Amino acid sequence: MANLLIVESPSKVSTIKSYLGSGYKVLASKGHVRDLPKSTLGVDIDNDFEPKYINIRGKGDLIKELKKEAKSAGKVFLATDPDREGEAISWHLVKALDIPAEKIKRVTFNELTKTAIKAAIKNPRDIDMDIVNAQQARRILDRIVGYKLSPYLWKRVKSGLSAGRVQSVATRIIVEREDEIREFIPKEYWTIEAELKSGSGAVVAKFYGKGSEKTELVSEGETMAIVRELDGKEFTVKSVKKAVRQKNPAPPFTTSTMQQEASRKLGFQSQRIMKVAQELYEGINLGSEHGGVHGLITYMRTDSLRVSDEAAEAAREYITSKFGGEYYPSARRVYKTKANAQDAHEAIRPSDIALEPDMIKSRLTNDQYKLYKLIWSRFLASQMASAVIDTINADITAAGFTFHTSGYSIKFPGYKSLYEDSDDDNGSDGDKKTQLPKLTEGEVLSASAILPEQHFTEPPPRYNEASLIKFLEEKGIGRPSTYTPIITTIIARGYVKRESKSFVPTQLGEITTRLMVAKFPNIVDYRFTANMEDQLDAIESGDDTLLSVLREFYGDFAESLESALSDTDSESYEMPVEKTDMVCDKCGSIMVVKEGRFGKFAACPNYPGCKNTKPLNSNQDEKKEEEKPVQESGEKCEKCGSNMVVRSGRYGSFLACANYPSCKNTKQITKDIGVACPKCGARVIQKHGRNKSVFYSCERYPDCDFSSWDMPAGENCPDCGAPLFIKKGKNLACCKSEGCGFKKEIEERNE
């Protein structure tokens, strides 16, 4: 009698089956099979928060098939992902398939390799109900907040809004940074650089202060007074300090650091990073020369820095054979995981260090190759010897003023021969990556130029993917599996938008945040949210219970909700009306912008007394193209080299050569949406069609014929594995709409 092994993702099936052979049947649950219902709260608050799970719509045939196979199997190995969500899916499978207790075997593996899978099968365990309850607590908390708060937001702000427990905090972070930027008052300051010459080369030194006391230059007057005093004066080397220091490598990746580094170095958005990491984990066909299908990295949702003994030993052997013994430290490097981290998995590392990125490049997509190389290099570097750096710092004096210069050079590259940290781009610890000429104390230098320069302090930068994820991690908000869904959700809900690579709050996000801070301060409080994560961790470790955490939360939450619902304060949290320059031809009122299922339109403000509506811009006078200011695109014409500028036509905006009519080159305006093409893996770009409509196509078109009116989500359907698309900005739907039927509201997605 064959055994049954159930995984989450269909893409893992063939890989695992090839390792286990004919004694096992391997099937996929395609994600969750049960969840809380969409149409009701689904949580009996008065009966100890009892959740009322139902089978997910569209999973009936799959559940029937799995139930049949489980009944005829000798043993049922539940091999869902090794995290809270995976543990909960295994538990739901037991309930939905009615698997007898004596058949149940829970197995987990950190990497999809033959060794890891065989070892897991030999060491099964029971389903860990503490982990399941931690997931249930998160799901119930998020459902209560979303279900109870959303109607309140409809009433006070705008209909159709959704509230989220952690997402509301993330929105607040971005809103508060925008407030800081608005309130920032620039302050003037000045610097002075001296370009000096010694007998062995040129030196650039920066003004430090009067004597040994640091002086801040805040005005042109005091700066120019110093410049005049320096005119014609000798510059003398007062002191030269040389040192040798070591720079240690960064630890291997966690989910957070992988997302931050891939965002900075590769320019990937977090959703794209996690999609590619999932592909690398689940397995890539490397061809017969490399043994077929391989899972290339360990599990990609982790905040642990632990590395197995086997992986560390493999790294030692590789480093000493490829680089030499001096490139391996005197003792193995062990990195300390943060106190609140979950240590169930290893850090993210290659599952086989011998599979060098360039060796298998032809078998990977461009995105897969880039991310695998980053993970491979970072892990190997984390096990290598420190870099040895020669540093030099010199103080130079003139007319009683002190100037400072510094630099460094690499004495021994160590791990830097393989991997450069992002913070090394501008030098190490603030030093410029320059080689100073030989300087000796008492040496007199000649000044070729004294350069004063005015500056102004700058506001804090807006958050981008890397800095927001870093902030969330530092504050303990969310966990590795939630960072990407948090960002995806607040953008999909319209609370935040992207400008270039930064996050900017929308008007809706700012108004909603202001209301949440006033009425539900705990929900959007950083410490409260982080403490809730700690409580979920305590449930998982068995130090707390699901019921006590839910009771503690709901008492304060229900009180805040009741107070908010009964509050009659006069402060308005409604979205301000956006007026047009169009006059209603039925009643003479100035028409306003409204939004419907097909987008924005102009409507009479006297509705329902006057129900007149018009398409936007329908009666506005068309201005002549030459009267409009030219908007530069930043692109060059590939035919004549002139600038390309933005023009408007009957079908919307497009790019045209500024040298028109001598050059009549035009092209569509496109936008990279940060999602891989479902057909070939290249970039998907947003284009404009007729009537100013928007559609999406592969950048390799027509070589790749992918195109769609709906935006690809960069994720696969949990039911059938086909690509998912974002429908009307709020639903995830399977591309196989007739054969599958999977559809899910974005705001109700889990971890």
Residue 90 in 3-state DSSP?
helix
Lowest-pLDDT choice from 300-304, 519-523, 681-685: 681-685
More confident of the two residues 368 and 581: 368
The DSSP line for 73-87 is -S-EEE---SSHHHH
Is residue 350 domain-resident?
A: yes
Residues 638 and 728 placed together within one structural domain of the fold: yes
**Catalytic member of 152, 281, 299, 369:** 299
The DSSP line for 554-584 is HHHHHHHHHHHHH-------SPPP-EEEEE-
Is residue 534 domain-resident?
A: yes
CA 143 to chain centre: 24
The DSSP line for 270-296 is HHHHHHHHHHHHH-EE--GGGTSEE--
Residues 146 and 196 placed together within one structural domain of the fold: no
pLDDT in tens, 211-223: 999 999 999 999 9
The angle formed by the CA atoms of residues 606, 609 and 615, to the nearest 5 degrees, is 60
Q: At 412, which helix (H) or strand (E)? A: strand 401-412
Residues 371 and 391 placed together within one structural domain of the fold: no
Give the number of domains in the chain.
6
**Which band of pLDDT confidence, cut at 50, 70 and 90, is reported for residue 26?**
very high
Residues 601 and 653 placed together within one structural domain of the fold: no
The domain spanning residue 539 has which CATH number? 1.10.460.10
Residues 177 and 216 placed together within one structural domain of the fold: no
553 pLDDT more than 90 = yes
Strand partners, 731: 727, 745
pLDDT over 90, % of the chain = 61
pLDDT in tens, 682-700: 788 888 765 557 788 888 7
Residues 73 and 92 placed together within one structural domain of the fold: yes
**Which band of pLDDT confidence, cut at 50, 70 and 90, is reported for residue 424?**
low
Residues 585 and 557 placed together within one structural domain of the fold: no
Tokens of 193: 């650089």
pLDDT in tens, 343-399: 567 999 999 999 999 999 999 999 999 999 999 999 999 999 999 999 999 999 999
Is residue 491 domain-resident?
A: no
pLDDT mean across residues, the chain: 88
Is residue 670 within 8 A of residue 661, CB to CB? The reply is: no
The domain spanning residue 243 has which CATH number? 2.70.20.10
Lowest-pLDDT choice from 450-459, 707-716, 719-728: 719-728
Residues 560 and 585 placed together within one structural domain of the fold: no
105 pLDDT more than 50 = yes
- What pLDDT does residue 458 have? 95
Residues 647 and 664 placed together within one structural domain of the fold: yes
Is the pTM above the cut of 0.85?
no
Of 109, 127, 145, which residue is a domain's last?
Answer: 127
pLDDT in tens, 146-204: 999 999 998 888 878 888 899 999 999 999 999 999 999 999 999 999 999 988 889 99
Active site residue 573: no
| Beta strand pairing call for 24-28 and 3-7 | parallel
Is residue 424 domain-resident?
A: yes
623 pLDDT more than 50 = no
54 pLDDT more than 60 = yes
| Parent domain of 295 | 258-382
Residues 8 and 70 placed together within one structural domain of the fold: yes
**Residue showing tokens 């569209």:** 58
Neighbours of 405 (CB within 10 A): 23
- Which residues lie closer than 8 Å to 256 by C-beta, 6 or more apart? 303, 469, 470, 472, 473, 480, 483
